[in-house]
Amino acid sequence: MFLGRKTSRIDARGPAPHSLLGAREVLFAVLLAIAAALCNAASPPRQSAPATAPTFYKNVLPILQQHCQSCHRAGEIAPMPLVTYAQTRRFAVQIKHNVTERVMPPWFADPCCGHFSNDPSLTAQEISTLAAWVDAGAPAGNPRDAPPPRHWATGWLIPKPDDIITMPAPVSLPATGDVEYTYEIVPTHFTKDKWVQLSEIRPSSRANVHHAVVYVRPPNSKWLAHAPIGVPFTASTLTDPQDQRDAKWTDADILLVYAPGSSPDNWPAGMAKFIPAGSDLVFQMHYITKRRAATDQASIGLVFAKQPPVQRVLTLQLTNDWFVIPPNDPDYRAEVHGTIPNDCLLLSFFPHMHLRGKQFEYNIIHPSGTPSGTMHDTVETLLRVHYNFYWQLSYRLAQPLFLKAGTELQAVGWFDNSKNNPHNPDSTVAVRWGDQTYDEMLVGFFDVAVPANIDKQHFFIRPSRVHGR
């Protein structure tokens, strides 16, 4: 959509021929004035623009660089770049609408609960700057006021990776129909243990990827023991029954989860994810078809920690796979809870549901009879997300939260299986857990930091005094 409204406004501050200018300068100035008038013909109406109206170069561009260009630049997920004046000006009206409605930048945490370090939301001041710029006719201002352009490593949101591991064989995707979860096992050939500070998954055909999980398979692991290496496979192409079960469920360590709009991992200093020497990475890809045959060959970029960290990051999950959502239920609630087996530091959340997902919460349940003296369990909400299937984000706590062994953590999901849910593929059926998006899921991934020498198996060895529920 273009700025389409006509206006008779003439920019009083536009260039005017001056008697001291030579003929060429006059011609140039006239051309500029004509160009300015043509531009203004496409401007929104400008009523009493204040003398100090914000300009693109001085006031708008810094906001775009900081809050928008990670997605709104060439090759990224947003439909148009917001880098140059011309690119941005065309979308001025939509920009004002989307930022005042808080549709952009995308963020779904309810302000009720928690503070998150990756919250990209604009401040009220930034929103009013953008709105005032649009109301003033989206003036360019002086290019010399512009901040230096922001540099992005090409192709990656993370700084230049130390290593890029790509699925050796591309996966062919049909034009229509469901695609079974597709796996590819890729040897790292790491001869030393590696600590990963930042990581990012890049599908080659982003539109076809619903989500991806990259697991770490250490050298002694029996997971998918007979599955082929370096070629795509699915549970039903495997012949060994244990392998088939392994393709449905694993407790292998997760390196990174990707979904559209999700951001790369970037662990705080002193914390990192661990890949033992000789490990394989296992890509689990959930592909969707897009009415055209396609191929995908995903990569993961890794930036290693400069020195060995003090703490290891583990990705854990709270999963409920036993719920049944009745047909036409607009507000079905399902939950799952578990006790934290050992002390840890809670870092971040990644809620996952499918098309009927509506709201998701992570809570701590404080039991009655605790020092707070209350008679009933009390619920402390750490994160409440107004769930949007097309935007699966991670939410990183601004202040990591210490969880004592025995803390009860709960994940709650609400589903809308009514026909009022515009994403609902079928409101007339009961819905259960399943891989495909017309099935449902309730998975609350969360990341914790533990001492660097503790792995997932050890973390789940509960001290005998702690009574797990």
Contact set with ligand HEC (CB under 6 A): 1, 67-68, 70-72, 77-79, 91, 94-95, 98-99, 104-106, 120, 122, 261
Decide whether 109 or 325 has the Cβ nearer to ligand HEC: 109
Q: How far is the CB of 394 from ligand HEC (least distance, A)?
A: 12
C-alpha neighbours within 13 Å on the C-beta side of residue 54 = 18
62 vs 270, which CB is nearer to ligand HEC? 62
99 or 201: CB nearest ligand HEC? 99
**Closest distance to ligand HEC from the beta carbon of 288 (Å):** 15
Q: Which is closer to ligand HEC, CB of 68 or CB of 300? A: 68
Q: Which CB sits closer to ligand HEC, 33 or 93?
A: 93
For residue 253, which phi and psi values (nearest 5 degrees)?
-70, 135
Could you tell me whether strands 280-287 and 378-386 are parallel, antiparallel, or unpaired per DSSP bridges? unpaired
Rounded least distance, CB 64 to ligand HEC, Å: 6
Distances (CA, A) of 228 to 17, 240, 425: 75, 11, 35
**CB of 383 vs ligand HEC, minimal distance in Å:** 18
Task: Compute the least distance from the CB of residue 401 to ligand HEC, in Å.
Answer: 25
Q: At its nearest, how many Å lie between ligand HEC and the CB of residue 107?
A: 9
Q: Which is nearer to ligand HEC, 96 or 217 (CB)?
A: 96
Whole-number Å distance between alpha carbons of 469 and 460? 14
Residue 99 vs 238, nearer CB to ligand HEC: 99
For the bound state, the minimum distance from the C-beta of residue 59 to ligand HEC, rounded and expressed in Å, comes to: 13
Question: Minimum Å distance from CB 206 to ligand HEC?
Answer: 10
Nearer to ligand HEC, 183 or 349 (CB): 349
In the complex, the smallest distance separating the C-beta of residue 98 from ligand HEC, rounded to whole angstroms, is 4
Cα→Cα distances 405→144, 162, 341, 361, 466, Å: 56, 36, 5, 21, 7
Query: Toward ligand HEC, which CB reaches closer, 26 or 77?
Result: 77
